[in-house]
C-alpha cells in the first residue's frame, strides 16, 4: 500500500506492492530502466557511478508525487534486498516518515547484516527525498531451530516475530558526521555518501 499526502489528506492506493510500482510508473510515464545490479544498489560495499547518477536523477522534491517515490525505490533495487514490500508515507509527530513493510522473513543471526544494509538505503532515501525525516522498516524475524524438517516448520510459525528498525535525519547525521540532506545537494555529494557507506563495510 502506497500513501501520499494530497491536499493535507493521506491517500492510499490498495494495489499489491509489485503491481503498484509498475502501475504507478506506467501511469506517470516515467518507467526507469536500470540494469546491472551493483553492490551499492544492494546496500553493500562498492561504489557505482552509474548507480549514483541514476539514483540522483530520480531525487524526489515532492512527497505527493507517489510515482516518483516508486520510481526511486525501483531504481534502488529495494525489492532485491527486502523482497516484496509495501510502502506508506505519513506524518508522524510532525515529521514525514516512510514506512516500508517487507514480506521477507529474516533469520535472527542475519538481523544485524540486514538492518545495516537497510540502514544504508534509509540514509540514501533521506538524502534524495529532502521532505523525509525518518525511514522505518518492518519485517518478520525468525529464530533458528535444531529439530527435523516438520518440527522446523512448526517452530518457524511459532517463533516468527515482527522486527522494526528506523533511521532519522538526526541518527543519520550522527553516523555520517554531517547533515544527511547535504548529500542530496548534487550528484557528486550523493556519490560521497555512497563512498562513505562503502568505507564502513571495509
Condensed to tens digits (0 to 9), the pLDDT of residues 121-149 reads: 999 999 999 999 999 999 999 886 545 55
pLDDT at 92: 83
**What does each C-alpha distance from 133 to 90, 106, 160, 179, 191 come to in angstroms?**
11, 26, 29, 12, 21
Say yes or no to pLDDT of 173 above 60. yes
Model confidence over 10-65: pLDDT tens digits? 444 433 443 344 333 333 333 332 323 344 454 444 457 899 999 999 999 999 89
The predicted model scores a pTM of 0.73
Cβ atoms of 136 and 100 within 8 Å: the answer is yes
pLDDT at 201: 76
Angle between helices 17-28 and 66-75 (to 10 degrees): 110
Alpha-carbon distance of 191 to 51, in angstroms, equals: 9
Residue, of 13 and 167, whose pLDDT is higher? 167
Contacts 24+ apart (CB under 8 A), 5-9: 5/63, 5/64, 5/89, 5/90, 5/91, 5/96, 6/64
Q: Burial code of 23-49, b = ≥16 C-beta within 10 A, e = fewer?
A: bbbeeeeeeeebeeebbbbbbbeebbe
Is the pLDDT higher at 71 or at 39? 71
pLDDT mean across residues, the chain: 78
53 to each of 63, 76, 138, 166, how far by Cα in Å? 21, 12, 28, 26
7 pLDDT above the threshold of 90: no
pLDDT score of 42? 42
The residue-averaged pLDDT of 63-78 equals: 94
The cell 524526489 sits on which residue? Answer: 60
Of 96, 101, 92, 97, nearest to 20 by C-alpha is 101
Amino acid at each position: 500500500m502506497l500513501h501520499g499526502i494530497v491536499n493535507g489528506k493521506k491517500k492510499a492506493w490498495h494495489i499489491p506492492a509489485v503491481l503498484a510500482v509498475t502501475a504507478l510508473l506506467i501511469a506517470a510515464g516515467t518507467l526507469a530502466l536500470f540494469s546491472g545490479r551493483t553492490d551499492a544498489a544492494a546496500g553493500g560495499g562498492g561504489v557505482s557511478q552509474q548507480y549514483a547518477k541514476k539514483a540522483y536523477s530520480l531525487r524526489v522534491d515532492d512527497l505527493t508525487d507517489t510515482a516518483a517515490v516508486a520510481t526511486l525505490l525501483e531504481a534502488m533495487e529495494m525489492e532485491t534486498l527486502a523482497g516484496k514490500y509495501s510502502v506508506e508515507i505519513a506524518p508522524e509527530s510532525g515529521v514525514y516518515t516512510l514506512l516500508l513493510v517487507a514480506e521477507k522473513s529474516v533469520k535472527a543471526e542475519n538481523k544485524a547484516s540486514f538492518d545495516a544494509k537497510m540502514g544504508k538505503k534509509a540514509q540514501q532515501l533521506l538524502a534524495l527525498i529532502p521532505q523525509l525525516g525518518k525511514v522505518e522498516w518492518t519485517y518478520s524475524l525468525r529464530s533458528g531451530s535444531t529439530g527435523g524438517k516438520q518440527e522446523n516448520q512448526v517452530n518457524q510459525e511459532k517463533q516468527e516475530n515482527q522486527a522494526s528498525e528506523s533511521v532519522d535525519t538526526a541518527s543519520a547525521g550522527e553516523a555520517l558526521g554531517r547533515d544527511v540532506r547535504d548529500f542530496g545537494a548534487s550528484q557528486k555529494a550523493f556519490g560521497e555518501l555512497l563512498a562513505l557507506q562503502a568505507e564502513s563495510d571495509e
